[in-house]
Amino acid sequence: MSGGVTRRSIVLAEVLAAATRWLAQDPDPRTRAELEDLIGRAEAAGGDEAAGELARRFDGRLQFGTAGLRGPLEAGPNGMNRVVVAQTAAGLARYLRGEGGDPSIVVGYDARTNSRVFAEDLAQIMAGHGIRTTLLPSALPTPVLATAVRRLDASAGVMVTASHNPAQDNGVKVFLGGADGGSQIVSPNDERIAAAIAAAADEDISTYARASAFRIAGDDVVDFYVDATARRGVPGAEPLRFVYTPLHGVGGRTARRVFVAAGFGDPIVVPAQEHPDASFPTVPFPNPEEEGALDLAIELAHSEGAGLVIAHDPDADRLAVAIPAHAGWRRLTGNEIGLLLGWRAAARTTGRGGSLVASLVSSPGLAEVARLHELSAVETLTGFKYISRVPDLLFGFEEALGYLVDPDKVHDKDGISAAVEFLSLAAEARDRGVGIEECLEELAERIGGHASAQVSIRVESTDGIRAIMHRLRTVPPTALAAEPVQTASDFANGHDGFAPSDLLRFTLAGGARVIIRPSGTEPKLKAYIDVRDDRGTGAERLEHARARVAEIADDVRILLREGHE
């Protein structure tokens, strides 16, 4: 017993020492008070709960995930706070200096809690380390920052955002210029940047050089993005009547400027979600993929007699669409939007060739579109850091509402450019007397009826995710929805030419496909289901495929939750 107490005491002493060192360098009054409270309660008798919380916060540090850092706003190396941001800035600055030349960087930020504070810390430390630094003039969408990296020929870009994560999160997303063309970071650069950050974290942040000699970008950076994006618009014979929501994010002002400049007019905006609000008061999760996120927009569209709903996530790099259906309205899947936009991109190539690109978990229907138009079809691992790097890219997408429609301007997903393309598609369809559902049926006549679904479960910890993936690897399913599993592929050590990835793929005897992987941005386990059907008319093909997807999804939900609840 005494040995156990001693070991616990030693661990607690180490955690308290680490927390005290952290506290001494933390410049933020809020996180300082938070940490002082935890330390005080952990030192008091019966402070096991506070001690456990301190241990959680100091048992590691945020790791690079999808192109950067993302986590809850809280004190300690496992959270997003001014100390972590300063360490990240110093590490990235030293990495850029190590690359030689005269490095430069563009820093952008959204409207989340502390985003501007983090961005100013980044800019000061970058400038203090001799990096030519430009700070965007206000809270702006991520695609504006990604475009600015190329427009200003910067060595790198940093966007302070947690995209569509819950309100309590924030993050830092990193882009590289030069030969990387303004794309998100990939290996080995992410490992090298992470190592530089870890080395910087051994120093007190008060010793980092800081300077105020950074430039605030002019409005011309935003004007360029607006003008270039608006030029893609094809408004049609009559104005479209559509509802728009930025979901309390930063997309509203920029998107509305683009819509007007492109000839679509000012949309009907959801009043309660029009302005940036870091608390996201009308949605539990500010993610347009989530059930209920578009309810207010759909209600408004119904009352106003609009024919379309356009929605962005809080940093406007993702696009969601809802359309009138036989019984009310329905939200299009990311794959439906991707196939329609891919079809439009392919039809406009005018024989110049190129590649249509989809991530591994997205609809295989895009490859059918490419074959019909004699274009290259490419699959990548999940993430636009891979999609954007495919040579001769014409169009790329992934089913999580991400679309790259304008590779000459931006090498990342862009919800505003994608909205312009979709509005153009809708206007062209309206002018020939059809709706979006009919467009999907026409596409099914050409490439087969493709339907998809995503099943996901929230998991409290990464240990829970690992346990489920281990179970599925050890005892894979033999059948789903009464259909035998024909092949089971594990990508953990690489597969089919792909780099190692925590991903499982099950192909059923009838050709349906189920892919299971952890989310790269949220504590979720995700399953992606795809079915193709060639029976009957386009409408019948879609009906058959959707029914089969629903059957398989029911079994996949059971499969993921076995042993979890």
Marked catalytic residue, from 104, 115, 163, 417? 163
**Rounded to an integer, what distance in angstroms lies between the CA atom of residue 264 and that of residue 489?**
46
Strand 376-380 relative to strand 483-490, pairing: unpaired
Neighbours of 377 (CB within 10 A): 17
One-character DSSP codes across 117-177: HHHHHHHHHHHHTT-EEEE-SSS--HHHHHHHHHHTT-SEEEEE--TTS-TTEEEEEEEE-
**Rounded to an integer, what distance in angstroms lies between the CA atom of residue 394 and that of residue 373?**
12
Q: What are phi and psi of 153, to 5 degrees?
A: 55, 45
Helices and strands in the chain, H and E counts: 17, 22
Find out whether 332 and 347 touch, Cβ atoms under 8 Å: no
Determine the 3-state secondary structure of 403 from DSSP. strand
One-character DSSP codes across 516-564: EEE-SSSSEEEEEEEEEE-SSSHHHHHHHHHHHHHHHHHHHHHHHHTTT
**Rounded to an integer, what distance in angstroms lies between the CA atom of residue 545 and that of residue 353?**
30
DSSP state for residue 324 in the 8-state scheme: E
What's the token pair of residue 430?
Answer: 């309206």
What's the token pair of residue 492?
Answer: 């953990």
* Residues 215-250 as b or e (16 or more Cβ within 10 Å = b): eebeeebbebbbebbbebbbbbeeebebbbbbbbbb
> Cis peptide leading into 188, omega within 30 of 0?
yes
Active site residue 163: yes
**Rounded to an integer, what distance in angstroms lies between the CA atom of residue 343 and that of residue 362?**
15
**Residue ranges in 406-485 assigned as alpha helix (H):** 415-431, 436-447, 462-474
Helix H or strand E encompassing 449: strand 449-458
Find out whether 59 and 199 touch, Cβ atoms under 8 Å: no
What is the chain's length? 565
**Rounded to an integer, what distance in angstroms lies between the CA atom of residue 483 and that of residue 143?**
43
Neighbours of 116 (CB within 10 A): 16
Annotated catalytic residues are 163
